[in-house]
Chains A and B, each alone.
Chain A
Amino acid sequence: MSNKVIGTSVPRWDAWSKVCGKADYTADIPVKNMLYGKIVRATIAHGRVLSLDTQAALAVPGVLKVLTPADLPRVKHATAGHPYTLDRSGDVYDKNILTEDVRLYGDEIAAVIAETQLAADIAAQKITAVYEEYPIYLTAQEAMTEGAREIHEGTKGNILADTTAKVGNVEEGFALADYVFEDEHRTQVVQHCHMENQTATAFQSADGRWTCISSTQIPHICRRILGEALDMPWSSFRVIKPFIGGGFGNKQDVTIEPLVVAMSIAMGGRPVRLELEREEVLAYTRVRHAIHYRSKVGVSKDGKITAWQVDAVSKTGGYASHGHSVAAKGGGILCTLYEIPHMSFRSRTVLTNTGNAGAMRGYGVPQITFAIEAMTDKICKELQLDPFEFRLANFKKEGAPHPLNGIPMVTNKVADCLTLGRQRFGWDAKMADSGAKGGSVRRGVGVAAFSYATGVYPYSLEIAGCRLTLNQDGTVKMLVGATEIGQGIDTGLAQIAAETLGIPAEMVYAEETTDTDIAPFDTGAYASRQIYVTGVAVAKAAEELKDKICRAAGKFYEIPHSAADVEDAFVINSVTGERVASLGDLALRTYYDKARAQTLTAEVSHNCHDNSYPMGVTFAEVDVDTQTGVVTVRSILNAHDSGVIINPLLAKGQVEGGMGMAISYALGEDLFYDPKTGEPLNNNLLDYKMPTCMDTPELDCMFVEPEDPFGPFGAKGLGEPPICSPAAAIRNAVCHALGFEINALPLTPGKVFAAIQNNRGGGADV
């Protein structure tokens, strides 16, 4: 039976409200008697607050209270939006809501509560601190230096974790190699730049508990972390997520919610809003990890990889946040992209006095893909191998088990992405057209492939919930704990429900808020998991509801329930094909039949024990102006295997958005810190080069669509994959144009020019 709703570009249900300005985000929701908060931030990068002078701040008219660490529970919490583990082994509990121990410039040392935002802002500026200052470590190398002070007591050498993932025996692998290649690659600190800054409002509800309306990707996890941070029962809190203006992983950390709830508690339950400014978001929420890779690859004469060794050093900033998982993820990526008989992937995650790194779209994979595909490019160039043949000969084969966790990669169409993408991109013609272009311009082409995963199984809990209710008129209300953050998951999930139920998508109502008191349990928006994990929960709930509908049909109409089915919102007799009644007619009876009414709902909690692997390839063509170092992307294509595409228009949006972020990751974005003080230098949207539409080229994308056996209707994750490979492909194209390698991101004009001058790559320590 062919799908009616899956695979169609159903308009997202919330688009009309967004184009009208009707969609309410956290700061748009009216709250009575509101107070306003402001965080007081440290003006040093490493040290201890010896004293705080709050007198002048308290004298500012409208200021009601200044909170200091002494006013708050001394218990530490972990901020990462990971699923909880029963032995609390998953995360590093290293954060106080406010701190005397300053670990990065801008660390949160006090907070003001006032009647107006202006009063809070003025007062925050008037609070002065006396510090004891410690040496600052802005790079991982500095932080790991012998004798360096521990940024968190007990973290030896400031190394949060040091792990090695192994396949085979890498030394044996190098012994089998005819050629060995080595190089280093570096990536920079960048930021998510979701358009809506972190905002949260907290107040005491009528039942005496604490409600926190927040722009969070992880409402249910946020509730748990509120409990941990404030040392109160988890059920004391109710987290409500309204519309969200993007997250990209930054809102997968709990950054402001514990403080805003603490503020409301301090004010006896009066509502308090804490709305970060853009400067705070850029510098003091979370950033992407800068990682320094040293790679060594063995290749045999016949062009097969025999061994691959990586030593990765990842800079995580002042707190653990997502900890080591970002850097460590690279090992699994490397050995699922290529067949590597002998692999050693060492990763160290290092605390530094810089912006706190956490989750960001791609979760370490844009970084490792940059290193992997730069090495692949090097091997092909030096051995004069065709970059397509080499990749095809070495790609991990479809069906092969994941070398580290044994889960088979049942669908893996990376080879099709490469070959079909090559045609669509017009690679061969573009390759022929590369080289000197007159004046100072040189043209080049580059390709890069990536591997990804869907969700976090088997490393963490994967759980999702869905509740469906048949309304009086046959429409269906869908409640999920999954989090719509702009990606369109609600619409995709509604399509899954509709397809399964046999009704059009517009008969399924999604919910604009996720409320932990109401929504079924789900861990939230991250790891490209929701279509795959929540999608199965929705499909199962829809199957259950449909079964109930069919049983009710057997009850209300003269039809055996085993013959009943639903098609186009009609109850049909599947044996005769006849329409028995409209679904609306049946629904009305389930509510109001005086004798037999019994309303129909279905609720499913799905514990997912699968993983599937989205794969893909980027092709890029660039011009490099050798006089100015300016790189212009002339054309770019992402080819994706994300299984069956549920909604082509929304999928295209995900891919193009990821490509846009990736292009400026390759070419422009870079968050700087003052080398003397550790103060962020460009934490505003003028100086931080988030791209405008004049900086983003035309984008092309295509999908190869194998039917994955585990995802709903064959889908795999798609949210993060598009950002994984463009930077590597652009870098390879730039190197092709120039005829030498550049191994540090971003490829800004200044850096490309410097590389041309030096005719070599490299960069500063991360």
Chain B
Amino acid sequence: MYDFASYTEAADIHEAVGLLCANPNARIIAGGTDVLIKLRSRDEAFVGRDFVGVTRIPGMTDIRLCDDGTIVIGAAASFAKIEGDAVIAQHLPSLAQAAGSVGGPQIRNMGTVGGNLANGATSADTASMLLACDATLVIAGAQGDTEVPLAGFHQGPGRVKLEHGQILKEIRVAKAGYEGYKGGYIKFAVRRAMDIATLGCAVMIKMDGDRIEDLRIAFGVAGPVPLRAASAEAYAKGQTLCDEVLEQIGRKCLEDTNARDSWRAAKAFRQQLISVLPGRAVRKALGGDGDA
């Protein structure tokens, strides 16, 4: 038995926002794969709350392609749904890879991409991949919807830019975020399933012949929040793709990241992964078998 005060299932997003706004003790619950675990460990931020369920809100789990080429993913779409979705498979297969690296089948059936972002974990597999796609977020609130970039959404470990009364409604990847790019995600973890990333590395690469036209690199667990490797990206533009360049990109990534020592992994080891995984992710994106 979980220790919370009440549970209400919202019929639509307005009702959900209304329930939140009317009650400072209210909190969102989606797939529960994170919230219920925190409740069970009697985390004070969760115990005794009034929960508002959002997974049955119509449209909240949909994935669609807009006329302008924008991919819209409902925040309550499960990892499994993303993994198996035709639009994602066609336009953003690397997001399917990232979603498919979460937990195991049961977790992927229940856990949601919105929860993955909104719980503020640096290790979130879809967060770094979406960051590499220049994704934006649609946030519903009492004043209606606002759209903000995913970059900057994460404020610190477990903290995101969501006010009380706001709900992450959609994740959007504009055409410019994916068109002409190939993507790759490598999750480095001790286990091959049911694990959190020791380091996650997402890349989106656009080639012009054998030259790198554009490269976006995002990491999970390379700092307190998912982050982009700006100087490595800047260096990569215009370079001819070869092992030496990939190695240099890896070294540059160390300038952009802030790996730390923890009992899970030593800083030196995380730094090694930060320098090695981008090259492997690029090879993977371009059709090699460069998995970790």
Stretch at the interface among A127-135, A153-161, A444-452, A684-692: A684-692
Q: Mark B260-278, 1 if CB is under 8 A from A, else 0.
A: 0001111011001100100
| B-contacting residues, A482-519, CB 8 Å | none
Q: Mark A668-697, 1 if CB is under 8 A from B, else 0.
A: 100010100000011001110101111100
Would B193 and A692 count as touching, CB distance under 8 A?
yes
How many angstroms between the C-alpha atoms of A116 and B2 in the bound complex? 12
Would B190 and A692 count as touching, CB distance under 8 A?
no
Would A681 and B191 count as touching, CB distance under 8 A?
no
Q: Does B22 contact A (CB under 8 A)?
A: no
Residues of B within 8 A of A630 (CB): 292
Whether A628 contacts B196 in the complex (CB less than 8 A), given A125-B42, A754-B266, comes out as no
Would A117 and B269 count as touching, CB distance under 8 A?
no
How many angstroms between the C-alpha atoms of A627 and B263 in the bound complex? 20
Whether A686 contacts B195 in the complex (CB less than 8 A), given A630-B292, A692-B104, A749-B190, comes out as yes
Would B3 and A122 count as touching, CB distance under 8 A?
yes
Whether A754 contacts B268 in the complex (CB less than 8 A), given A118-B3, A681-B263, A686-B196, comes out as yes
Would A682 and B263 count as touching, CB distance under 8 A?
yes
Q: Does B194 contact A (CB under 8 A)?
A: yes
How many angstroms between the C-alpha atoms of A674 and B268 in the bound complex? 20
How many angstroms between the C-alpha atoms of A447 and B268 in the bound complex? 32
How many angstroms between the C-alpha atoms of A748 and B292 in the bound complex? 14
Q: Does A753 contact B (CB under 8 A)?
A: yes
| A-contacting residues, B231-277, CB 8 Å | 263-266, 268-269, 272-273, 276
Residues of B within 8 A of A3 (CB): none
How many angstroms between the C-alpha atoms of A748 and B268 in the bound complex? 14
How many angstroms between the C-alpha atoms of A125 and B104 in the bound complex? 31
Would A757 and B276 count as touching, CB distance under 8 A?
no
Contact of A628 among B195, B264, B292 (CB under 8 A): B292
Q: Mark B268-290, 1 if CB is under 8 A from A, else 0.
A: 11001100100000000000000
Residues of B within 8 A of A694 (CB): 191-193
Would A753 and B42 count as touching, CB distance under 8 A?
no
Would A754 and B195 count as touching, CB distance under 8 A?
no
Would A628 and B104 count as touching, CB distance under 8 A?
no
Q: How far is the CB of B83 from chain A (nearest CB, A)?
A: 16
Q: Does B188 contact A (CB under 8 A)?
A: yes
How many angstroms between the C-alpha atoms of A40 and B41 in the bound complex? 15
Q: How far is the CB of A574 from chain B (nearest CB, A)?
A: 59
Q: How far is the CB of A266 from chain B (nearest CB, A)?
A: 23
How many angstroms between the C-alpha atoms of A674 and B1 in the bound complex? 30
Q: How large is the interface on B (under 10, 10 to 19, 20 to 34, 35 or more residues)?
A: 20 to 34
How many angstroms between the C-alpha atoms of A532 and B190 in the bound complex? 39
Interface residues on chain A, number (Cβ under 8 Å): 30
Q: Does A61 contact B (CB under 8 A)?
A: no
Would B192 and A749 count as touching, CB distance under 8 A?
no
Q: How far is the CB of B4 from chain A (nearest CB, A)?
A: 11
Residues of A within 8 A of B264 (CB): 687
Contact of B272 among A121, A628, A689 (CB under 8 A): A628
Q: How far is the CB of A753 from chain B (nearest CB, A)?
A: 5
Q: Mark A727-765, 1 if CB is under 8 A from B, else 0.
A: 000000000000000000000111001100100000000
Residue from A118, A629, A695 with most neighbouring chain B CB atoms (10 Å): A695
Residues of B within 8 A of A692 (CB): 104, 191-194
Q: How far is the CB of A697 from chain B (nearest CB, A)?
A: 11
Nearest residue (CB) in A for B47 is A122
Q: How far is the CB of B154 from chain A (nearest CB, A)?
A: 21
How many angstroms between the C-alpha atoms of A122 and B192 in the bound complex? 36
Residues of A within 8 A of B42 (CB): 121, 125
Q: Mark A96-127, 1 if CB is under 8 A from B, else 0.
A: 00000000000000000000111001100100
Nearest residue (CB) in B for A124 is B42
Q: How far is the CB of A679 from chain B (nearest CB, A)?
A: 11
Q: How far is the CB of B176 from chain A (nearest CB, A)?
A: 33
Q: How far is the CB of A276 from chain B (nearest CB, A)?
A: 14
Residues of B within 8 A of A691 (CB): 191
How many angstroms between the C-alpha atoms of A629 and B268 in the bound complex? 12
Would A753 and B272 count as touching, CB distance under 8 A?
yes
How many angstroms between the C-alpha atoms of A742 and B272 in the bound complex? 20
Would A686 and B272 count as touching, CB distance under 8 A?
no
Would B269 and A749 count as touching, CB distance under 8 A?
yes
Main secondary structure of the interface of B (DSSP, over half): loop
Whether A672 contacts B263 in the complex (CB less than 8 A), given A117-B1, A118-B1, A695-B192, comes out as yes
How many angstroms between the C-alpha atoms of A686 and B194 in the bound complex? 7
Nearest residue (CB) in B for A119 is B1
Residues of B within 8 A of A681 (CB): 263
Would B195 and A689 count as touching, CB distance under 8 A?
yes
| A-contacting residues, B181-233, CB 8 Å | 188, 190-196, 198
Would B191 and A627 count as touching, CB distance under 8 A?
no
Contact of A750 among B194, B196, B265 (CB under 8 A): B265
Would A628 and B190 count as touching, CB distance under 8 A?
no
Whether A750 contacts B263 in the complex (CB less than 8 A), given A118-B1, A692-B104, A692-B191, comes out as no
Nearest residue (CB) in B for A692 is B193
Residues of B within 8 A of A748 (CB): 190
Q: How far is the CB of B201 from chain A (nearest CB, A)?
A: 12
Residues of A within 8 A of B272 (CB): 627-628, 753
Residues of B within 8 A of A754 (CB): 266, 268-269
How many angstroms between the C-alpha atoms of A116 and B190 in the bound complex? 38
How many angstroms between the C-alpha atoms of A672 and B188 in the bound complex? 20
Residues of A within 8 A of B269 (CB): 629, 749-750, 753-754
Would B292 and A689 count as touching, CB distance under 8 A?
no
Q: How far is the CB of B46 from chain A (nearest CB, A)?
A: 14
Q: Mark A562-600, 1 if CB is under 8 A from B, else 0.
A: 000000000000000000000000000000000000000
Q: Mark B157-193, 1 if CB is under 8 A from A, else 0.
A: 0000000000000000000000000000000101111
Q: How far is the CB of B196 from chain A (nearest CB, A)?
A: 7
Would A695 and B266 count as touching, CB distance under 8 A?
no
Would A628 and B188 count as touching, CB distance under 8 A?
yes
| B-contacting residues, A396-443, CB 8 Å | none
How many angstroms between the C-alpha atoms of A325 and B233 in the bound complex? 59
How many angstroms between the C-alpha atoms of A118 and B39 in the bound complex? 12
Residues of A within 8 A of B292 (CB): 628, 630
How many angstroms between the C-alpha atoms of A668 and B264 in the bound complex? 12
Q: Mark A621-643, 1 if CB is under 8 A from B, else 0.
A: 00000011110000000000000
Would B1 and A116 count as touching, CB distance under 8 A?
yes
How many angstroms between the C-alpha atoms of A118 and B40 in the bound complex? 10
Would A689 and B190 count as touching, CB distance under 8 A?
yes
How many angstroms between the C-alpha atoms of A683 and B150 in the bound complex? 33
Contact of B266 among A118, A685, A750 (CB under 8 A): A750
Whether A628 contacts B276 in the complex (CB less than 8 A), given A122-B3, A672-B263, A754-B269, comes out as yes
Nearest residue (CB) in A for B192 is A694
How many angstroms between the C-alpha atoms of A694 and B105 in the bound complex? 12
Residues of A within 8 A of B191 (CB): 668, 689, 691-692, 694-695
Q: How far is the CB of B124 from chain A (nearest CB, A)?
A: 14
How many angstroms between the C-alpha atoms of A633 and B193 in the bound complex? 16
How many angstroms between the C-alpha atoms of A369 and B292 in the bound complex? 31
Residues of A within 8 A of B276 (CB): 627-628
Q: Give the A-binding residues of B (Cβ under 8 A).
A: 1, 3, 42, 104, 188, 190-196, 198, 263-266, 268-269, 272-273, 276, 292
30 residue pairs A–B, Cβ–Cβ below 8 Å: A116-B1, A118-B1, A121-B42, A122-B3, A125-B42, A627-B272, A627-B276, A628-B188, A628-B273, A630-B292, A668-B191, A674-B263, A681-B263, A682-B263, A686-B196, A687-B264, A689-B190, A689-B191, A689-B195, A692-B104, A692-B191, A692-B193, A693-B193, A694-B191, A695-B192, A695-B193, A749-B188, A749-B190, A750-B266, A750-B269
Closest 8 CB pairs of A and B: A694-B192, A118-B1, A750-B269, A692-B193, A694-B193, A689-B190, A627-B276, A672-B263
Q: A628-B292, A681-B263, A692-B193 are in contact. List 19 more A-B contacts (CB 8 A).
A: A116-B1, A121-B3, A121-B42, A627-B272, A628-B188, A630-B292, A686-B194, A687-B264, A689-B191, A692-B191, A692-B194, A694-B192, A694-B193, A695-B193, A749-B188, A749-B190, A750-B265, A754-B266, A754-B269
